[in-house]
Structure 1
Amino acid sequence: MDDSTTTRRRLLEGASVGGGALLAGCTDQLDLGGGSGTGTDAARTDAGGSTVDGVGAIATVDREALQQDRIEIRQELQNGNITQEEARTQFAELQDEYISEAVAALAETASATDGVDVAAEYPSLGAVVLSGAAVPIIGLLDSADVNALVSQSDVEDRAGTATATESA
């Protein structure tokens, strides 16, 4: 096994355990440490009639660009050009923008992949739910747009929690 295969395997092992850890501080929105397992993994049937379960996919956010923009906002704050509250608001908006762009890129990549459908998008979580054949879905791990694959129930449970919190 060459070094690139070993490095990729270690990255994927870490991503599957931490899942969204690379979402620039957004892991609290999607608890990937293991859901209750009681989610609704709705089975879908493909054109061939075989049952295929959905899979959650976590989008890859450009952490370096986000960090650079965060530094610029912090500099503006230190220079007195913006208030603390304005800095927080700007960073939250910027973070949402980066995550939404990452989800859109992931959804586009998945939609362009034969045998994969995007069943649902969760931009606030940085995730989508995919359905289709296992091989092309797993093949998406080769895409720079996919950070990790997680249980569909983890994504849907977290989405339900986020919706309930927002409406309260």
Structure 2
Amino acid sequence: MTDPTTTRRRLLEGAGVGGGTLLAGCTDQLNLGSGDGSGADAAQTDGDGANVDGVGAIATVDQEALQRERLRIREELQNGNISREEAQEQATDLQEEFISDAVSALAETAKATDGVDVADEYATLGAVVLTGEAAPIIGLLDSAAVRALVSRSDVEEQAETATPTESA
């Protein structure tokens, strides 16, 4: 099983420059999208340039709470209350739970935002794919639930790499 933190970290690393460039509107300069410099497959518009075909949103995980829980597990291990295997299993379950909760919070925030729809959720990556109007999607960056916006293709590629035999 692929470690969700490693997969999520790779997604953020790989999408950092591309996602930032996409948000800055510089895809034409980098020939991203259709390959012809138009950026045609990066976003579909409804004629006025307002709708986005999809963008990945990375959920914000409460790292402080996660660290507190990890320390609790470590203390249980050191006190001899649990075995190393139990500690590893609890730590993995805990991490998956925190990421899943963060994705749920992000999805709820997005669904509550007018003009934004959640196309897909990727709990193992800590990401969702959003569609809808560009301005409200970008406005979600002000939400504590959103850590970053990245390209949809980066999220989907990571999902395929992380779970090649499962559907997202």
Same topology, TM > 0.5: yes
TM-score normalized by the length of structure 2? 0.74
Identical-residue share of aligned pairs (%): 67
Contact 2:7–2:162 (CA<8 Å) still a contact in 1?
A: no
Q: Aligned equivalents of 1:135 and 1:166: distance in 2?
A: 33
> Unpaired runs of 5+ in structure 1?
1-24
RMSD of aligned C-alpha atoms? 2.8
* Correspondence for 2:83: 83
Contact 1:118–1:131 (CA<8 Å) still a contact in 2?
A: yes
Aligned to 2:61, the other structure's residue is in SS state: coil
Deviation of the 1:33 alpha carbon: 2.5
Deviation of the 1:42 alpha carbon: 7.1
Aligned to 2:81, the other structure's residue is in SS state: coil
Contact 1:119–1:131 (CA<8 Å) still a contact in 2?
A: yes
Letter in 2 for 1:73: I
Q: Aligned equivalents of 1:34 and 1:96: distance in 2?
A: 21
Regions of 4+ moved over 3 Å: 27-30, 35-38, 41-46, 48-51
- Tell me the alpha carbon deviations over residues 105-161 of structure 1, each in whole angstroms, 9 at most, x when there is no partner: 000000010010000000010000001111000000110000110111110000001
Deviation of the 1:51 alpha carbon: 5.1
Out of 11, 15, 22, the position equivalent to 1:31 is 11
Q: Give runs of aligned pairs for residues 52-67 of structure 1, distance below 5 A.
A: 52-67=52-67
Q: Aligned equivalents of 1:131 and 1:32: distance in 2?
A: 19
> Unpaired runs of 5+ in structure 2?
19-31, 34-40
Q: Aligned equivalents of 1:145 and 1:111: distance in 2?
A: 12
Letter in 2 for 1:26: T
Q: Aligned equivalents of 2:64 and 2:50: distance in 1?
A: 41
Contact 1:44–1:131 (CA<8 Å) still a contact in 2?
A: no
Q: Aligned equivalents of 1:150 and 1:49: distance in 2?
A: 19
Q: Aligned equivalents of 2:13 and 2:43: distance in 1?
A: 23
Contact 1:55–1:130 (CA<8 Å) still a contact in 2?
A: yes
TM-score normalized by the length of structure 1? 0.74
- Tell me the alpha carbon deviations over residues 45-99 of structure 1, each in whole angstroms, 9 at most, x when there is no partner: 66x8965231000000011110000000000000011111100000000111011
Q: CA 1:96 to 1:133, structure 2 compared with 1: closer, same or farther past 3 Å?
A: same
Letter in 2 for 1:61: V
Letter in 2 for 1:150: V
* Total equivalences in the alignment: 142
Q: Aligned equivalents of 1:143 and 1:108: distance in 2?
A: 11
Letter in 2 for 1:59: A
